[in-house]
Copies of this chain bind each other. A is one copy, B any other.
Amino acid sequence: MSRPRITLLTDSGAGGEHVGALHAVLAAGCPDADRIELANDLAPGDVRWGAVVLARLAPLLPDAVHLAVVDPGVGTERLGVAVATAGGGALVGPDNGLLGLAADRMGAHAAVALPVPSDAPATFHGRDVFAPAAARLAAGVLVSDLGEPIDPAAIVRPALPAARTGAGRVEATAIGSDRFGNVTLLAGADELTDAGLAAGDGVTVSTAGGAFAAAVGRTFADVAPGEALVYLDSHGHLALAVNGGAAWDELGLCRDERVAVERR
C-alpha cells in the first residue's frame, strides 16, 4: 500500500512561516505521509477562490487528506470540521465555505466538528486544530473518532454568484486569477453553449473599467500577442487571458466583478 497523502491549501503565502508550521506538525504527526502543496498563494482571506481551487484540485487525489486553511474568522464561533469523502479521503479546515464545493464534488458522507484545545491560541487553528486532525486521519484514525458528528449536508457552501446567459451573451463573476493573470469566471461550457458562442467568434468583454475586443478560442496562441482570449480553461471554467500578458491586470479587474462577454 502506498504512503498516506496530505495536501495543503492556504492563504499563508508560498514559503511562509505558517505553511512551514503546518508542514512541521504534519511531519511530526504522520512521518510517513506524502505532503503535497496544492496552493499557498491564495489572496489573504479569499475563502471563495480557495473553495474553487480546492474543488478543482482535491479530486485529483480522492483518497488524500486535504488540509485547507483560509480562515479569517479563526478564533470565532465558526466551526472547524473534518469531512469524510467518498473516495476514502477527507477534507479538514474551517467551516466557512472553503470546503463546501469540494465536499459537493467529492461526495461527503460523514462530518465531525473538531474540538479546540482549551489552551490553544486563538489565531492559528491551522497549526493547533486542523493540522493535528489531518495528521491523525493520514495515520489511520477515522473522521468519526475526531469529534462530534455533524450533518455533512450542513457544511457551509460558498456563496457563488450565478452566471446569466442570453443570445450571444454570457455575464459572470470574476472569482480569481492565476499567476499568469488568467481570469476564472463562474461559468463554463454550458453557459457558452447557451449563449451560442464558439471558438472563432469575435466578442466584446465588458468590465467596470471598459470594453475590450477579444476572440473565443482554445488556447493563448489563438490570438495575436497582446490580444484578449475567451476560452474554457483546463478545469472547464470560462476564462479570460491575454496572449503573453496578464488579463486580470490589463482589464483592471476587481475581485467579484461582473464581466460580460458578448458577440461583436
A residues in contact (CB < 8 Å) with B: 2-3, 5, 7, 9, 11-21, 23-25, 27-28, 31-32, 34, 36-41, 44-45, 53, 56-57, 60-61, 72-76, 121-124, 127-128, 178-180, 218-222, 231-234, 236, 244, 246
Asked if A234 contacts B121 (CB within 8 A), the reply is yes
How many whole Å from A2's CB to the nearest CB in chain B? 4
The answer for the CA separation of A57 and B24 in the assembled complex, in Å, is 8
How many whole Å from A7's CB to the nearest CB in chain B? 7
Contact flag A15-B17 (CB < 8 Å), given A75-B220, A234-B124: no
The answer for the CA separation of A93 and B2 in the assembled complex, in Å, is 27
Name the contact of A24 in the complex, choosing from B14, B15, B32, B61 (C-beta under 8 A).
B61
**Apart from A15-B19, A16-B39, A27-B34, 7 more pairs, CB < 8 Å:** A3-B32, A17-B41, A20-B38, A24-B38, A121-B234, A122-B218, A123-B218
Name the contact of A72 in the complex, choosing from B45, B75, B127, B244 (C-beta under 8 A).
B244
Closest to A53 in B: B17
How many whole Å from A46's CB to the nearest CB in chain B? 11
Asked if B18 contacts A15 (CB within 8 A), the reply is no
Asked if A18 contacts B178 (CB within 8 A), the reply is yes
The answer for the CA separation of A109 and B171 in the assembled complex, in Å, is 52
Contacts of A41 on B, CB cut-off 8 Å?
13-17
Asked if A127 contacts B221 (CB within 8 A), the reply is no
The answer for the CA separation of A151 and B24 in the assembled complex, in Å, is 29
